[in-house]
Structure 1
Amino acid sequence: MPLDPDEMSADSGATPSVWAEGPGLADSFAAWMLPMAGFAGLVVAILPPLLYGVMAWERLERQALVHAEHMAQALSDVARHQPYLWMYNAHKVLEATASHKTIQDLGAARIVKCDGEMLFSSRELGLGSGGIDGPVGWAPIRGPRATVAWVKVTMDSRPQVRVARQIGLGSLLIGVLLGGALFIIPTRVVRRQARQLEKTLTRLEATEAELVKSNRVLQERVEEATQELKELSRRVVSIQEEERRRIARDLHDGLGQMLTAMRFELERPGDEGGALALSQQVLTELRRIVRDLRPVELEVMPFVEVLRNYTERFEERTGTLTSFRVRGEMRFSDETAVCILRVVQEALTNISRHAQASEVGISLTCEEERVTLEVFDDGVGFDLEAPSEGLGLRSMKERFRFLGGTLTIAAEPESGTRIRGVIPLEEPVDDST
């Protein structure tokens, strides 16, 4: 079954190329990747000097404490020998602290009393490089009985700051290079893939356009063929009806006139009663056949009345109780009316011959978009699984199919038969039908 070109066109319009509107895939990826690459470069630039600074500060704190303890230990020995005079013996104090003069990271060293008064400054001790912004370490100078003073050591952090700056410059360069690489390389790859994808989408759109065009042509051909088939089917039905009119006219004008003349001849004196009655029966049957072939009432009466008259004649002829029900306003074409009449005729003929029914129901419902016919009986029914269906059933289905409708048959042995047909109404007509 060909696709609907309108649907394909709608689908094509509903999924435009990703490059047609808004930022492209490559631009979106670049916008997403830029902060990520910048963050990665920033981490690489900041983390090494930061880690080095923390580790260097902790190391200076430990060294400050160790140096203060070493000097305090040496001065404690002096204080034990001279509990009161050691702080005035500068020579002994300088000897005790002389071993720390070669320490490069030592910024300053002081000896203070417990009340905070300074006894010896860093200059007096000849210690330190002068840097006082580093970690501080304290250690007590213990006399024979208690703590007599404190040693304060301040480390010089300037060498570590210089090293941290050098590490920071190197890590900054590495971070910039890494961030640029993380941004440029993936973005370039995505842009290349995006261009290939765009070319592929362009080819797909061109192929889709060709497919839509081909499908539209095919759909037009199918519609033309369908219209031709419908027109041919209507012509076949019209030809059949015209042929039936000719047969009815010939029977009526030819055989009917001959039998009428025979009746007039038999009405002359003599014993011809049996022949007269027989001729009357022949004439009555002939007229019934003529009405069935092409009811003249269709030319002068509404279709519903024609159908009602036919069902009444069927009830009179067969003795089967027949009901006829109409719903809605009958507004459909002559072709539809003839189709319904022929199906009803065929259905009632089958009922009279095979169903052995005591009741028959006929329902005709006309709505805005379709007309529905139902014929049902309470007869013996039949098996739908039989190898083949009769010519009459096929004929009824074909008549509905010619008009674009459907006809279904539901039957079971000993459960009666129900025929339901639906014909779509393309456009309403006047009440002349």
Structure 2
Amino acid sequence: MSFDSLGLSADILRAVTEQGYREPTPIQRQAIPVVLAGRDLMATAQTGTGKTAGFTLPLLQRLSANPPAKGRRPVRALILTPTRELAAQVGENVREYSQYLNIRSLVVFGGVSINPQMMKLRGGVDVLVATPGRLLDLEHQNAVDLSKVEVLVLDEADRMLDMGFIHDIRRVLAKLPPKRQNLLFSATFSDEIRTLAEKLLHNPEQVEVAHRNTASEQVSQQVHFVDKKRKRELLSFLIGRDNWQQVLVFTRTKHGANHLAEQLNKDGITAAAIHGNKSQGARTRALSDFKAGQIRVLVATDIAARGLDIEELPHVVNYELPNVPEDYVHRIGRTGRAAATGAALSLVCVDEHKLLRDIERLLKREIPRLAIPGYEPDPSIKAEPIQNGRQQRGGAGNRGGNGQGGERRRSSEAKPAAPRRPRQGENNSQPRRPRRSKPANNG
């Protein structure tokens, strides 16, 4: 099957061809006809399967085939994403595929000035890609009108729920017209996702391209047991021995990402960290340098697993296993994308044996073991509780996101009772001024 047979216009097909795509992926073959028919859709697919084009191509086709009346352009399609990086990536895809169409698009997210976004919205936008917090800030300031939205897309819906955006999503839904097309995309279909789908979708078509919660079959996976204190030494050894030129490394915490990047640079391996405490500019530069080959190692926290799009990424390393097993799938899904193959290595210390068992239970198989002489774990070391890991989903610490590239919880939602515990790096000795109820405007 080719893209020509899916009912897309010549202008869209021209843009798709120029991006180097010849044949639609399974998710695109199944999703595009459903969206073109105007049906609601509930779709699941692993990262790297082409799901973004699965909703952007038919969405653009529908908008361009039915242009609005003359005058100011209302927002006709709204795409919600959980993170800034993912919003930017989706926005780039929309621009690429609509370059020969009379379609205006805009990406809005927190962490940058809101004023330029307000100015661009004033000029009229057909397709708006947004993170929930910044969208609500814009709506609160009457900078965006959502009453004419024809198509709503929730991308990475499972991650949005993980990050505590359910309240923001409900607020957005209340601003939309009741008659619209709804498209929900998720890497996993948890019970929470199904509950959301029942309230959001009307008689939806369901498309499932990958087995539930399974890792990409194009990624070779290995585990190396090693003492916690020797992980960095082993990682540097492997990068040097095998001459890895592009490696995405995951840690559990922002502090851990910074520390590892510093240590790798001291080892003579160019590295940079990317997480929510970095400015948007710093994160964009780090990703750009990584893609260009100017740095060999990009150290990231979990949230980056949903926003990074790196073609033909050969290596992913779990320097620390995630607390939530599904995040392992998202992490290693950054490699082995589309038709490419990749390798994922997990460095596992004695503290993480239970996390590994949880991951293997999710995958329904044992991950092959790798042993490198000289790096065998010390059997006398006992397991210790994992500190500063990500909160289990649903816990209070997860409400409103963890700050790693997502959006902060809006202050209007904050519970006034319990005082906030200081974030990592904050000075505990200084008294805090009372929080004002003014909504945050940087998402």
TM-score with structure 1 setting the length: 0.17
Bigger radius of gyration, 1 or 2? 1
Higher share in helix: 1
Higher RCO (CA 8 Å, separation ≥ 6 residues):
2
TM-score with structure 2 setting the length: 0.16
